[in-house]
Amino acid sequence: MNLKNYMADRLPVIEENLQSALSQIVPADYPELREMLAYHMGWVGEGAGPRAQGKRIRPLLVLLSAEACGDEWRRVLPAAASVSFLHNFSLIHDDIEDNSDTRRGRPTVWAKWGMPQALNSGDLMFSMAYACMMRLQENGHSADTTLQALRLLQHTIQELVQGQYLDMAFETRQDVSGQAYWQMINGKTAALLSCCCALGGLLSPAEDACRTSLAQYGRALGLAFQVVDDWLGIWGDPAVTGKAVGIDLTSRKKTIPILYGLENSAEFNRAWAEEFTEADVPRLAQLLKDAGAQHHTETLAEDLTRQALDSLALAFPQPNQHSEVLRELALTLTRRDR
């Protein structure tokens, strides 16, 4: 089995499960509300389809982690749905907070329906994350395990909000340290990827040591994932990433290549101090590349991926076919283009 086969097999069921959760939870007499959520999930509207659905990394991580620990994947589907809805909720709100009008190559929910209703649709999706997690109990898990999964979800949400708070606060701060950057991405990205892997361990018959290493794998993978996202935010092809050109530069995000440029390039500092627009993005991106920021970002992503693989090896001293897919997933995410 490899990642491609695994995804071909599981993704349709994940999708079906998410769609059925949406129609069970959101009453049919709220058709527009349902439509907003279904639109964001990539199921309806212009451009609906796999690209609009996103990569579904988080539910895949839940299923793979549980299977690597010897569990039956259908038992953990409610947790996979929960993390998917939490992630997608956070994107709806992130697009509002960042004023981004494009996501996955199509207009964002707020750009189509306005901010007030986009907030409502995000809030509903947020509650669906809890609704799905609570369904673990109907899917063969004890009340105690379900409560532990809910606790993990709540703690992850807190980390997400704290990370998002820092991300936004840094936009107007000049003195963001490397340490502050790691704290920020730990919250806004790595916490949820770690939570997905920890859920797989929690819901299956794994040993505590394996669960801990699996969560550490998810944490390092999440950091690597965000570092790659930072790379894509500057040098990614907007036609592939589905985001606006040089979005991290124009929104003055303190991402890793930008922090590196600020620390190491007088020329980039001068350009950064001026007003600039989307038209200046290629020049700024080149200044960063010349300063070595691109190489630095790539090296960091590789180091973090190696750390993730080390934790995976600790979790599964004797690899199995699903831990091997987790290994392939980590290597693939470092080389992703969207």
Residues near ligand GRG (CB under 6 A) are 54-55, 57, 90-91, 93-94, 97, 104, 157, 160-161, 164, 188-189, 226, 229
Instruction: Supply the DSSP string of 144-173, one letter for each residue.
Output: HHHHHHHHHHHHHHHHHHHHHHHHHHHTT-
**Residue 141 or 188 having the CB closest to ligand GRG:** 188
Residue 97 or 290 having the CB closest to ligand GRG: 97
Nearer to ligand GRG, 91 or 293 (CB): 91
* 86 or 291: CB nearest ligand GRG: 86
Nearest to 212 by CA among 190, 187, 188, 194: 194
Beta bridge partners of 79: none
Match 């991290």 to its residue by tokens. 248
Min dist CB 18 to ligand GRG, Å, is 12
Q: Which is nearer to ligand GRG, 217 or 268 (CB)?
A: 217
Which of 91/234 has CB closer to ligand GRG? 91
> Rounded to an integer, what distance in angstroms lies between the CA atom of residue 138 and that of residue 136?
5
| CA-closest candidate to residue 245, choices 257, 233, 255 | 233
Q: Judge contact between 227 and 304, C-beta under 8 A.
A: yes
Query: By C-beta, is 104 or 141 nearer to ligand GRG?
Result: 104
Least separation in angstroms between CB 294 and ligand GRG:
19
Give min distance, CB of 195 to ligand GRG, in A. Answer: 11
Helix axes 293-315, 208-235, angle to 10 degrees: 160
How near is the Cβ of 171 to ligand GRG at its closest, in Å? 14
* CA 146 – CA 156 distance, rounded (Å): 15
Please choose, from the candidates 191, 198, 219, the residue with its C-alpha nearest in 3D space to the C-alpha of residue 309. Answer: 219
User: Shortest distance, CB of residue 92 to ligand GRG, whole angstroms?
Assistant: 8
Distances (CA, A) of 188 to 31, 210, 226: 31, 24, 9
> Nearest approach, Cβ of 164 to ligand GRG (angstroms)?
4
Residue nearest to ligand GRG (CB): 54
Distance CA 28, CA 38 (A): 12
Core vs surface per residue 57-78: b (16+ CB within 10 A) or e: bbbbbbbbbbbbbebebebbbb
Minimum distance between the CB of residue 50 and ligand GRG, rounded to whole angstroms?
10
